[in-house]
Structure 1
Amino acid sequence: MRLTALLTASAVAAGTGILIALPAQAEGTGAAYVALGDSYASGEGAPESHYLEGDSIAKDGVTTGCHRAYSSWAFGVAATVQPADGILAACSGARATHLFGPNDSYPTTESAQIDEVGSSTRLVTLSIGGNDVGFADVVRGCVSAPGKRGRYDCRLEGRPVHDDAVRNLNKLTNLGVDTPNGPMTLAGIYHAVAERMAPDGVLVVANYPQLFSESIEGYRDEEYSCKVGTAYGVATATVKYDDALWMNSLAQEGNAAIANGVAEANRTLQEAGNTQSVVLADVDTAFEGHRICGGDKWINGAQLAGATPKQTSMHPSVKGQEAYCRAVTAALPGSPAPRCDFDQATQSYN
């Protein structure tokens, strides 16, 4: 069974700052608001206690492992626009192929995320592409875990981490990423989602934050590395400054591809006579001054269970979810007053 989280107006307090009173869906025509994408949309990075029922660690054939959290920024967007109904379909680990085909990564198979989008859908938010580049593998290959300091210099040509990342990034930016319909460019993906929506519907595409501080001040040991986590409460996991900057450059290139895809999708939608639009939410800028190794960070470091990194590693904390919410709502037409402050007491955005 498809496990989704209903985002209803009853989940948030009434108030001002409503952009649109998104109407309820007609049966089979899609929710008024649909949040699609990967872990950066599902709420991964929030405390595990925030996972919605049925979305916790996949282990028993019942839970999905999608790690949808009630502190996900999608709930803040819902609090801002107050849709009559909405669906959080984003799933941790999702790739572009899971927008258009089933996701059997976990014990409970999920249907294609795009199935939630239809002719009554006025707003879609989307974060996708990071897993197609294999960014989690890049981070695992660059962060030096206890006893594995040889992972330093992962950025060098000829290292598997470097070469795999370059190859995958080329797919994202040029060749197209794998989907059940064959390789699709980001522009093609955005077009395919938007054209399913209601006339004048808006697809908001969020880019990704660079993870690491660009200031060398946070990398002050003899190797110019930064502590990003602790294993067994003692041994440290670290990242080298030059490797951190290289990982940031991958995010920058990916974000440039996302921006280009948004522009191209709008062009092809207009040429086809469609009235839907695609807009870019610049999330990366919202994290300036709040990256790993840079002070008051809004992104988790390496969160380790023993020496094994948890999925929550290198994902936005609750503060990061709030930053995402502000960036996404700022991209909405009409510039609504954001309701992006997460209240721990009520477990809701207001």
Structure 2
Amino acid sequence: MRLSRRAATASAFLVTTALALSGASAAVSAPRPKATDYVALGDSYSSGVGAGGYDSGSGSCKRSAKAYPALWAAAHKPASYHFTACSGARTGDVLANQLAPLNSGTDLVSITIGGNDAGFADTMTTCVLQGETACLNRVATARAYVRQTLPGKLDQVYDAIDGKAPAARVVVLGYPRFYKLGNCSVGLSEKSRAAINAAADDINAVTAKRAADHGFTFADVNKTFAGHEICSSAPWLHSVTLPVENSYHPTANGQSKGYLPVFGSAA
């Protein structure tokens, strides 16, 4: 019999309390069952835009065999695997188009979401084309949205996941900081780059809090991406490039070395 996420947490608490009261000294931890039914949700950072190797049947969603969900599934061979992440997805798109594979038997769910709600693409376009003042203003607007509006949007998605897959381990992955500061002689100004990094920190902080409040695991990718930001000597993120939709997305290395190890540790 499967326990719901909240019931499992409560049971673990009761066991720990009973051990403490009885004077038991041995550490006890329930083994984590192997995930056999995996659903990968989210936006372009989960679908694998920028990594290449797209499934021809995924159309504009650009689902890549080099994306971290596909790499994890190839290595672990779950009994079922559904990859519904889609380029450009917002929270509303996840709710409308991505949740169908979830059910009471789902063991594992991954997701990146929120960047497009906050205006990721428009912000970067503004910063690249319109200069520092316009960039700082647009980033400030995005950060206000992240603080004021995004939490409720994330709650809607997380509530829906919990309702459809109450026994699943849900791993919510964050976004990397885009830039290594103090190391760029061309492109955006240092103030613009710092503001964009701060916006990424904001969205990660909000996402981590909402994930924790739902009993989900937040997986921070900034440690693996450290030293591999744009302007580093070995970036795992595309700068402005062609095709343009690859810009500011993880490369194949960003997926396999930046995202996959973090997801693998949390799954």
Bin the TM-score by the shorter chain. Answer: 0.7 to 0.9
1:42 maps to a residue whose letter is S
Q: Distance in 2 between matches of 1:22 and 1:252?
A: 30
Residues 21 and 84 of structure 1 are in contact (CA less than 8 Å); yes or no, is this contact kept in structure 2? Answer: no
> 1:320 aligned to 2:258?
no
TM-score relative to the length of structure 1: 0.63
Q: Number of paired residues?
A: 235
> 1:99 aligned to 2:102?
no
Q: Distance in 2 between matches of 1:133 and 1:80?
A: 33
Residue pairs, 1:216-235, within 5 angstroms: 217-220=182-185
Displacement of 1:198 in angstroms is 5.2
Displacement of 1:171 in angstroms is 3.9
> 1:301 aligned to 2:266?
no
Q: Distance in 1 between matches of 2:48 and 2:143?
A: 27
Q: Secondary structure at the match of 2:262?
A: helix
Aligned to 1:152: 132
2:106 maps to a residue whose letter is T
> 1:246 aligned to 2:195?
yes
Q: Distance in 2 between matches of 1:311 and 1:86?
A: 26
Residues 132 and 172 of structure 1 are in contact (CA less than 8 Å); yes or no, is this contact kept in structure 2? Answer: no
Q: Distance in 2 between matches of 1:118 and 1:136?
A: 32
> 1:212 aligned to 2:193?
no
Q: Distance in 2 between matches of 1:20 and 1:71?
A: 26
Q: Distance in 2 between matches of 1:171 and 1:90?
A: 25
Aligned to 1:180: none
> 1:262 aligned to 2:228?
no
- More off after superposition, 72-81 vs 91-100: 72-81
> 1:196 aligned to 2:164?
yes
Q: Secondary structure at the match of 1:132?
A: coil
Structure 1 79/54 Cα, relative in aligned 2: closer, same or farther at 3 Å?
closer
Displacement of 1:153 in angstroms is 3.1
Q: Secondary structure at the match of 1:218?
A: coil
> 1:134 aligned to 2:139?
no
Q: Secondary structure at the match of 2:142?
A: helix
Displacement of 1:134 in angstroms is 0.6
Structure 1 93/173 Cα, relative in aligned 2: closer, same or farther at 3 Å?
closer
Identity, in percent, stands at: 31
Residues 147 and 202 of structure 2 are in contact (CA less than 8 Å); yes or no, is this contact kept in structure 1? Answer: no
Displacement of 1:331 in angstroms is 1.4
Q: Distance in 1 between matches of 2:106 and 2:239?
A: 36
Aligned to 2:227: 289
Match of 1:46 among 27, 31, 51: 51
TM-score relative to the length of structure 2: 0.81
The unaligned stretches of length 5 or more in structure 2 are 1-31
Residues 208 and 218 of structure 2 are in contact (CA less than 8 Å); yes or no, is this contact kept in structure 1? Answer: yes
More strand by share: 1
Match of 1:73 among 68, 71, 85: 68
Residues 213 and 293 of structure 1 are in contact (CA less than 8 Å); yes or no, is this contact kept in structure 2? Answer: yes
Q: Distance in 2 between matches of 1:151 and 1:130?
A: 21
2:248 maps to a residue whose letter is M
Residues 112 and 174 of structure 2 are in contact (CA less than 8 Å); yes or no, is this contact kept in structure 1? Answer: yes
Q: Distance in 1 between matches of 2:33 and 2:55?
A: 26
Residues 187 and 264 of structure 1 are in contact (CA less than 8 Å); yes or no, is this contact kept in structure 2? Answer: no
Q: Secondary structure at the match of 2:170?
A: strand
The unaligned stretches of length 5 or more in structure 1 are 1-18, 24-31, 56-63, 102-111, 145-149, 175-183, 221-236, 267-277, 333-350
Residues 80 and 329 of structure 1 are in contact (CA less than 8 Å); yes or no, is this contact kept in structure 2? Answer: no
Question: How well do the aligned residues superpose, as a CA RMSD in angstroms?
Answer: 2.0
1:321 maps to a residue whose letter is Q
